[in-house]
Amino acid sequence: MSKKQTYRVCFCCRRRFKLAISEAPAEIKTLFERYSENGFMNAVHLQRFLIEVQKQEKATEAEAQAIIDSLKQLNIFHRGGLYLDGFFKYLFSDANLPLSPSLGVHHDMSLPLSHYFIYTGHNSYLTGNQLSSDCSDEPIIHALKRGVRVIELDIWPNATKDNVDVLHGRTLTTPVELIKCLRSIKQHAFDVSEYPVVITLEDHLTPNLQAKVAQMVTQTFGDTLFYPGSEVLKEFPPPESLKKRIIISTKPPKEFLQAKEPKEKEDDLQKEKALGDEEAWGKEVPSQKCGAMADYQDSEDEDDEEDDLDDEADKSNQNAAPEYRALIAIHAGKPKGGLDECLQVDPDKVRRLSLSEQQLEKAAETHGKDIVRFTQRNILRVYPKGTRITSSNYNPMIGWMHGAQMVAFNMQGHGRSLWLMQGMFKANGGCGYVKKPDFLLKTGPNNEVFDPKAVLPVKTTLKVTVYMGEGWYNDFNHTHFDQFSPPDFYARVGIAGVPADNVMRKTKTIEDSWLPSWNEEFEFPLTVPELAVFRIEVHEYDMSEKDDFAGQTCLPVSELRDGIRSVPLCSRKGDGYNTVKLLMRFEFC
């Protein structure tokens, strides 16, 4: 790297800026002095640092020596230990991440499926917006490779009524053959996780085509397909017993629904584009402190993805293909009646209930504890409201704090909401299943359950120090942020969680530097740390236009490691940059 960087201001004028060299912050230098001797840190010194500062109580001298040996490819390496530069390089390396890569799957996986949050997709076959994008197996493959465990397919008769397509019904989306989607799921279901994949089917088929689907599913998945063994399950089986199994979930077969003309209008699409969660910044996740999600467009006119299981539907079921019915392991549907009936807990069987984000918000106002009680045994799926035409998403926290297992997201709808979803499911080794906190699973002696509206005391405080960042000079074009000077970076850090814990803070802006050094400390009191996700964003300040996005990541607070850590940042889509990262310190007190 040259020592000067030149920017052209006009045809005959240039500005030159000195390129800074990445240097350890003052606190890192102080710690190095404290844990070294005569400017040199050997394995014993490093072990003490790991135990006392990084809170790695079980760190051994051998592990410390292995860290020293791992730096031998650097010119600053010394066999006996580390000088300051080597110590700083280690702290800022991928060997010192905020989540332990060796932790793997560590939650108890022997409990019923209803005891876990499950990484869930919505309309998993869409490549773009909900109105006119292509349907394909590619987004399904992409989702599975990210660890998504619930794939949704809307199945309809094809144009000649002799086969089955996947498409978003009553819209202009182009179809993809069901068999192609099934084969891709079989090929990639367990690429990153061996825990079960659930396929939720939104069924619009005649009985003869349902029989055809049953044949496709059984032939494609073979022995990996999980059969319930009885008409209904009394309790859901655990993920541990369902490794490398495919599970089918849908409502019992109903009368075929003829497709109607596309109902969404182009002006609706344009309106929602301005309100979505997929802009460069992403729409800020709305705070539940203000009640309903007022930052998003509201509409009462939306599709209900599960019709009432009334007597008329029961009559139509008599004509359903029995081989298709036999595939359904997780039964879905809404009992006839209001919320009280929908949330009724049956001691003899379990089921899946679906509510839109708006329906959940309204239900939470009056039936919050009933929802928690329902989700202790049954599965609740939450899906985006119908007006999210551009495939934007919503705040997942309202679902999680009520115990909803399947908070369904448009995985192509990049923005802050999806970043939170990606952050939550980095927990438990990224296997796509995260055990719900105990307080959502427990019932008291008088049948009392967790009250999502309760005002709770602070359980712990997360103290965060944002030291510095690096890597943008390598990963971005040198005029990407500013044509005339180096970038002006600032960071935003905060918490997404229950309403009392939601907060975002901002550092000062460091002008004209590819290596911003903020050295700022923030404290975040947490009432429910078990559900909290730590948010990090970096932006480049722009005086005349919207500030530029420069990286983000979200991390589950429950798995954050104490100490000074190297935090890699990701793109808007959640893909990791090659070298962009922050040096931060996390302390729980």
DSSP H or E segment with residue 140? helix 138-145
Q: Of the candidates 399, 395, 361, 394, which has an alpha carbon nearest to the alpha carbon of residue 380?
A: 399
Q: Can 115 be counted among the known catalytic residues? A: no
CA atoms within 13 A on the CB side of 222: 5
* Nearest residue to 568 via CA among 23, 29, 101: 101
Is 106 one of the catalytic residues?
Answer: no
Name the pairing type of β-strands 197-203 and 489-496: unpaired
Burial 462-478 (b: 16+ CB within 10 A, else e): bebbbbbbbbbbeebee
Q: Are strands 328-331 and 246-250 parallel, antiparallel or unpaired?
A: parallel
Catalytic residue among 45, 115, 122, 331: 122
- Of 45, 115, 142, 168, catalytic: 168
- Using DSSP, state whether 464 is helix, strand or coil: strand
CA distance 287 to 477: 35
Residue pair 227/326 in contact by the 8 Å Cβ criterion? yes
Residues whose CB falls within 8 Å of the CB of residue 64, separated by 6 or more in sequence, listed in order: 43, 44, 46, 47, 50
The Cα-based distances of 207 to 211, 256, 281, 484 in angstroms read: 6, 8, 47, 66
Q: DSSP letters of 159-212?
A: TTSSSEEE--TTS-PBPEEHHHHHHHHHHHTTSS--S-EEEEEEE---HHHHHH
Residue 385's φ and ψ, nearest 5 degrees, are -65, 160
Tell me how far apart the alpha carbons of residues 551 and 309 are, in angstroms, rounded to a whole number.
46
| Cα atoms in the 13 Å half-sphere on the side-chain side of 386 | 15
Decide: 113 and 379 in contact? Cβ < 8 Å: yes
Neighbouring residues of 472: CB distance < 8 A, sequence distance ≥ 6 = 481, 487, 489, 514, 550, 551, 580
**Hey, which residues are catalytic here?**
122, 168
